[in-house]
Amino acid sequence: MTSLECTRCGATHSPATLINLCTCGGILYPRYDLAGLRGKYDRNEVKDGPGTLWRYRRVLPVRDEANVISLGEGFTPMFPARRRGPFQPYTDLFIKDEGPNPTASFKARGMSPAISMAKELGAREVALPSAGNAGSAAAAYAAAAGLTAYVFMPDDTPALIVSECIAYGARVYLVKGLINVCGKLVAAGAKTRGWFDLSTLKEPYRVEGKKTMGYEVAEQLGWELPDWIFYPTGGGTGLVGMWKAFAEMEALGWIGRKRPRMVAVQATGCQPIVKAFGEGRSDSVLHENAHTVASGLRVPKALGDYLILQVLRESRGLAIAVTDEELLRAQREIAETQGILPCPEGGATWAALQKLVAQGTVKPTERIVLFNTGSGLKYPELLPREAPVLDPNDPKVLDAVV
Ligand SMILES: *Cc1c(COP(=O)(O)O)cnc(C)c1O
């Protein structure tokens, strides 16, 4: 890593100290000596690396190997969709399944380098606002690193995720407000208490972990990117991270110029990016009274909105919203036909794909990757639970079994 570069004004900063945003308020991206690595960093070399995102070690931060905090994140499976039920017409569809990650969501990817860097650069206490999964991932990696994590979540965050954060020893607080309100408390505490603020994209290294999804999609498809990528978009870290990864891989000589069209999927109850994209804006307007059961998508205004919108336009992609009913139905369809129980956010990508195919925008024979960003087991309140109760002493007990 050579520097941190501002995505707004282009100013560069030293990666030797812990910083958040550029002085202009822009998001910072880590930069590497890719020209120097070209020809020396062979894409086949990654096969010899660990079965985690750290297989792409030379394009990841952290100077001293001893500071790398890994719990086995990344290098998740990507399954060709089984052509059953509503999946029948899709001949080249893949599901990248992030459920097997530590803490059961892809938030682990971001937290591994972020907590590693916080440790390397001397932080003792980290803090973040979270709609749920980022909080539990931060809590787990902070526990592994021996750091204290302060997690601020909306007071209606799924109970299991709250318990999970507490179990990892984090200081957990429930806030009467959404993630942006939680973010304000973290920013205030960072100033007065000296916590390092780990908020999405306000911190330069979470995006580095999320970008590895882009490296993995390329590696798992034989170094040829797909036609479309469907990504459930909240803060957008993974979407912009993958786009960064594609540019890096081209600079390294690992892939050519072909890029997928990127689709940001949101919920109708919180669709600031869909609105901004439709109106041709370069940033988004806060979505008032945001609500959706897909808590990872409940981000009323993303700090990285300008980067997300840039990626959608550069990739000739688009943004689309689906209702909670549609995404929950899609979640069930994936579970029943694929044997993967996705999170509701993952369900949203399948619902969006079906809509775009119905509209004729996407052909079911194109090469498509859907991101299931976490396990459905983290949202037990959304899963079906009705099952008949049997009395084993009733001689006609099996008559009730259909
Ligand atoms: C956080 C989260 C998202 C949104 O991810 P971003 O990179 O912030 O857009 C999607 N799905 C799940 C399960 C999440 O936890």
> How far does residue 163's CA lie from ligand 1's centre (Å)?
19
Residues in the chain: 402
Q: Which residue bears the tokens 């994936």? A: 334
Partner residues linked to 125 by β-bridges = 148
Does residue 158 have a pLDDT over 90?
no
Cβ-Cβ contacts under 8 Å for 294 (sequence gap 6 or more): 232, 267, 324, 327, 343, 344, 345, 347, 348
Nearest CA to ligand 1 atom 2: 296
Q: Which residues line ligand 1 (CB under 6 A)?
A: 105, 107, 133, 200, 232-238, 296, 343, 345, 373-374
Would you tell me how many other CB atoms lie within 10 Å of the CB of residue 23?
10
pLDDT at 311: 98
> How far does residue 25's CA lie from ligand 1's centre (Å)?
23
Nearest CA to ligand 1 atom 4: 234
> How far does residue 373's CA lie from ligand 1's centre (Å)?
7
Question: In this structure, are residues 230 and 349 in contact, taking their beta carbons and an 8 Å threshold?
Answer: yes
- The enclosing H or E element of 231 equals strand 228-232
- pLDDT tens track for 326-362: 999 999 999 999 999 999 999 999 999 999 999 999 9
Q: Which residue bears the tokens 């803490």? A: 103
Which SS3 state, helix, strand or coil, does residue 322 take?
A: strand
Q: pLDDT averaged over the chain?
A: 97
Nearest CA to ligand 1 atom 10: 296
For ligand 1, pick from 198, 203, 233, 377 the residue to mutate: most ligand atoms within 8 Å of CB: 233
Q: What band does 157 get if pLDDT is binned at 50, 70 and 90?
A: confident
Cβ-Cβ contacts under 8 Å for 76 (sequence gap 6 or more): 96, 97, 98, 99, 100, 101, 106, 216
Q: Are strands 261-267 and 171-175 parallel, antiparallel or unpaired?
A: unpaired
Question: In this structure, are residues 295 and 179 in contact, taking their beta carbons and an 8 Å threshold?
Answer: no
> How far does residue 389's CA lie from ligand 1's centre (Å)?
37
Distance from C-alpha of 281 to C-alpha of 264, rounded to nearest angstrom: 15
Q: What band does 179 get if pLDDT is binned at 50, 70 and 90?
A: confident
For ligand 1, pick from 103, 292, 297, 370 the residue to mutate: most ligand atoms within 8 Å of CB: 297
Question: In this structure, are residues 111 and 209 in contact, taking their beta carbons and an 8 Å threshold?
Answer: yes
Atom of ligand 1 nearest to the CA of 236: 9
Question: In this structure, are residues 168 and 140 in contact, taking their beta carbons and an 8 Å threshold?
Answer: yes
> How far does residue 42's CA lie from ligand 1's centre (Å)?
31
Picking from 189, 63, 182, 206, the residue whose alpha carbon sits closest to that of residue 122 is 63
Question: In this structure, are residues 337 and 197 in contact, taking their beta carbons and an 8 Å threshold?
Answer: no
Distance from C-alpha of 250 to C-alpha of 316, rounded to nearest angstrom: 18
Buried b (16+ CB within 10 A) or exposed e, 329-342: bbbebbbebbebbb
pLDDT at 178: 84
- pLDDT tens track for 192-228: 999 999 999 999 999 999 999 999 999 999 999 999 9
> How far does residue 62's CA lie from ligand 1's centre (Å)?
24
- pLDDT tens track for 236-271: 999 999 999 999 999 999 999 999 999 999 999 999
Q: What band does 275 get if pLDDT is binned at 50, 70 and 90?
A: very high
Distance from C-alpha of 226 to C-alpha of 141, rounded to nearest angstrom: 32
- pLDDT tens track for 373-399: 999 999 999 999 899 999 999 999 999
pLDDT at 74: 98
Residue 296 tokens, joined:
């990872």
Span between the terminal Cα atoms of the chain, in Å = 61
- The enclosing H or E element of 97 equals strand 93-97
> How far does residue 137's CA lie from ligand 1's centre (Å)?
12
Q: Which residue bears the tokens 């690396």? A: 49
Distances (CA, A) of 19 to 126, 128, 211, 372: 13, 15, 20, 31
For ligand 1, pick from 101, 133, 205 the residue to mutate: most ligand atoms within 8 Å of CB: 133
Picking from 344, 350, 382, 343, the residue whose alpha carbon sits closest to that of residue 368 is 350
Distance of CA 336 to the CA centre of its chain: 24
For ligand 1, pick from 73, 101, 105 the residue to mutate: most ligand atoms within 8 Å of CB: 105
Distance from C-alpha of 367 to C-alpha of 58, rounded to nearest angstrom: 29
Residue 20 tokens, joined:
């958040």
Q: Which of 156-160, 168-172, 226-230, 237-241 has the lowest mean pLDDT?
A: 156-160
> How far does residue 198's CA lie from ligand 1's centre (Å)?
15
Question: In this structure, are residues 288 and 272 in contact, taking their beta carbons and an 8 Å threshold?
Answer: no
> How far does residue 395's CA lie from ligand 1's centre (Å)?
50
> How far does residue 276's CA lie from ligand 1's centre (Å)?
19
Residue 93 tokens, joined:
């569809």
Atom of ligand 1 nearest to the CA of 200: 8
Distance from C-alpha of 231 to C-alpha of 238, rounded to nearest angstrom: 8
Atom of ligand 1 nearest to the CA of 239: 7
> How far does residue 111's CA lie from ligand 1's centre (Å)?
13
pLDDT at 75: 98
